[in-house]
């Protein structure tokens, strides 16, 4: 048989690309692993990109309302971190369990598990929404807001926290879709939510056309409505029952064993996000104390660029999680392992490219966001130093998500805790404060810690105990 030509390979790739965006039912437990990675990863990359649009759009329009509005959004985002943590934890658990049942060719059990995760979400959001609505001013005060910020921003915080239901459901239901292998549906729900947010945000803030001028409160309403419509879109396709997940009335029956399993998988995944977020906040505080406002600004600009550039890597990692879960469910641990190793190869190659971009073009990238020489200096420094460890970051990311996809969320949690809190933060403090290296010392601690985390994750992955986890 003749070797496929470059043109044929390119045609095949574009055919897969079109198929990945169209979505549908695919069996990821057989056939080409490369094809499975493409079909899953591309929609997941676009989904993550669209999720980031919310923050960018809100900050763009809110930024025009003045410093109090900006402060309110920033402080509210800190409070909402708890909601995001729960959402990511439940989403991880739903993906792992639904993927396992899908791989077992038991779509009924997959749908049942998905609905049990929704029941958990409803209970949690009843608490978070109530607390947000009732205690919004107190939450802002605890976070350090000045009286004028509280007066101006309490309504924004109340609406955002009060709407925590749609935040958690948007993440969770997309986790169900990803577990079932329908990454395209998860992507389209974010398209709907993001498009509405982009339209409604300026309209409700500024009072365009028939819309009232609501200022900062309008931004919260726009975001909540956008996410809410996205959830309705998800529910329509979830309950319509044309995909793998076909919802029946009995799926809503309280099932204690499944709920227990979901919680056992979810709480370590939630803690993972808290550990990671907390470490970055601690690092930011250290940068501020050793480098002042300019260093902080440069660091924040660099971080926003880092998050944007590594979104494809996260998409690949999430694809690996789904492939692991489904292939373990199908009784094919070898294929699950092969999927992870191939995804790791792709991710390492991609992150190598990102590393070269940051090393060679950090200055013009940072120049897009700031012209202040001191801020530019620290931004470039952060981008180049942190970017130097991206190859290991890419490897570790796939390993960690693969363990999560297998339902072994406790191992990545412990690796994160040791890597970030017992290694990265003490090392950053030692370099920045004790050895007087300033912000550069804090930046150096990041690639060193990420290398440690990647090696630890690789070690536990190769031990293979994740193949025996039951969910």
Per-residue confidence band for 190, with pLDDT thresholds at 50, 70 and 90:
confident
Per-residue confidence band for 53, with pLDDT thresholds at 50, 70 and 90:
low
User: What pLDDT sits at residue 78?
Assistant: 75
User: What pLDDT sits at residue 343?
Assistant: 96
Per-residue confidence band for 6, with pLDDT thresholds at 50, 70 and 90:
low
pLDDT above 60 (res 3): no
pLDDT above 50 (res 400): yes
Residues 218 and 216: their CA atoms lie apart, in Å, by 5
256-278: average pLDDT = 92
Instruction: Tell how far CA 383 is from the center of its chain.
Output: 20
Q: What is the DSSP letter of 330?
A: T
Q: Which residues contact 160 (CB under 8 A, 6 or more apart)?
A: 76, 80, 132, 220, 223, 224
| Kind plus residue range of the DSSP H or E element containing 80 | helix 67-103
Q: What is the pLDDT of residues 338-350, one digit of tens each?
A: 999 999 999 999 9
| Kind plus residue range of the DSSP H or E element containing 248 | none
Q: What is the DSSP letter of 65?
A: G
Per-residue confidence band for 59, with pLDDT thresholds at 50, 70 and 90:
low
Distance separating the N- and C-terminal Cα atoms of the chain: 43
User: What pLDDT sits at residue 216?
Assistant: 87
The residue with greater pLDDT, 143 or 460, is: 460
161-170: average pLDDT = 93
Per-residue confidence band for 80, with pLDDT thresholds at 50, 70 and 90:
confident
Q: Which residues contact 312 (CB under 8 A, 6 or more apart)?
A: 41, 45, 350
Per-residue confidence band for 21, with pLDDT thresholds at 50, 70 and 90:
confident
| Kind plus residue range of the DSSP H or E element containing 247 | none
pLDDT above 50 (res 63): yes
> Structure tokens of 411?
């191992």
Report how far apart, in Å, the C-alpha atoms of 56 and of each of 61, 154, 188, 201 are: 9, 21, 19, 11
The model's pTM: 0.88
pLDDT above 60 (res 1): no
The residue with greater pLDDT, 176 or 209, is: 176
Residues 2 and 145: their CA atoms lie apart, in Å, by 68
Residue 159: what are its φ and ψ, rounded to 5°?
-70, -45
Dihedral sign for Cα atoms in the order 138, 143, 147, 150: negative
pLDDT above 90 (res 414): yes
Q: What is the pLDDT of residues 422-438, one digit of tens each?
A: 999 999 999 999 999 99
User: What pLDDT sits at residue 375?
Assistant: 86
3-state secondary structure of 464: coil
pLDDT above 90 (res 158): yes
Q: What average pLDDT is seen over the chain?
A: 88
Asked if 445 contacts 424 with a C-beta cutoff of 8 angstroms, the reply is yes
pLDDT above 70 (res 56): no
Residues 334 and 134: their CA atoms lie apart, in Å, by 52
User: What pLDDT sits at residue 275?
Assistant: 92
> Structure tokens of 392?
């290991």
């Amino acid at each position: 048989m003749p070797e496929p030509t470059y043109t044929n390979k390119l045609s095949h790739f574009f055919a897969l690309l079109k198929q990945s965006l169209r979505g549908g039912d695919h069996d990821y437990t057989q056939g080409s692993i490369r094809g499975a990675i493409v079909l899953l990863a591309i929609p997941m990359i676009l989904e993550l990109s669209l999720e980031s649009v919310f923050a960018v759009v809100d900050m763009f329009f809110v930024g025009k309302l003045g410093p109090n509005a900006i402060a309110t959004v920033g402080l509210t985002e800190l409070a909402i971190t708890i909601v995001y943590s729960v959402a990511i934890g439940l989403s991880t658990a739903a993906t792992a369990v639904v993927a396992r049942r899908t791989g077992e060719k038991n779509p009924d059990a997959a749908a049942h598990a998905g609905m049990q995760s929704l029941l958990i979400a409803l209970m949690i959001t009843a608490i978070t929404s109530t607390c947000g609505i009732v205690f919004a001013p107190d939450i802002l005060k605890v976070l350090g807001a000045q009286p004028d910020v509280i007066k101006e921003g309490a309504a924004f915080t109340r609406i955002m926290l009060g709407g925590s239901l749609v935040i958690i459901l948007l993440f969770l239901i997309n986790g169900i879709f990803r577990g079932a292998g329908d990454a395209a549906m998860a992507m389209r729900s974010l398209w709907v939510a993001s498009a509405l947010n982009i339209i409604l945000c300026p309209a409700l803030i500024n009072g365009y056309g028939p819309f009232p001028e609501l200022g900062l409160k309008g931004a919260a309403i726009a975001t909540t409505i956008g996410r809410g419509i996205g959830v309705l879109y998800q529910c329509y396709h979830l309950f319509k029952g044309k995909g793998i997940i076909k919802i029946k009335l009995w799926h809503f029956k309280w099932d204690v064993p499944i709920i227990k399993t979901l919680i056992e998988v979810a709480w370590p995944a939630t803690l993972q996000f808290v550990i990671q977020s907390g470490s970055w906040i601690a690092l930011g505080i250290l940068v501020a104390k050793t480098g002042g406002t300019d260093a902080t600004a440069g660091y924040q600009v660099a971080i926003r660029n880092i998050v944007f550039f590594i979104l494809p890597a996260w998409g690949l990692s999430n694809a690996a999680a789904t492939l692991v879960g489904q292939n373990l469910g199908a009784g094919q641990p070898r294929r699950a392992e092969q999927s992870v190793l191939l995804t790791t190869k792709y991710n390492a190659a991609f992150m190598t490219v990102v590393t070269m971009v940051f090393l060679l073009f950090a200055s013009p990238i940072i120049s897009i966001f700031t012209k202040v020489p001191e801020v530019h200096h620290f931004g470039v420094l952060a981008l180049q130093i942190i970017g130097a460890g991206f190859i290991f970051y890419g490897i570790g990311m796939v390993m960690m998500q693969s363990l999560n996809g297998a339902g072994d969320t406790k191992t990545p949690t412990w690796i994160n805790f040791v890597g970030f809190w017992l290694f990265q933060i003490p090392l950053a403090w030692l370099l920045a404060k004790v050895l007087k290296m300033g912000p550069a010392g804090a930046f150096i601690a990041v690639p060193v810690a990420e290398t440690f985390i990647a090696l630890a994750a690789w070690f536990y992955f190769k031990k293979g105990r994740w193949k025996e986890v039951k969910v």
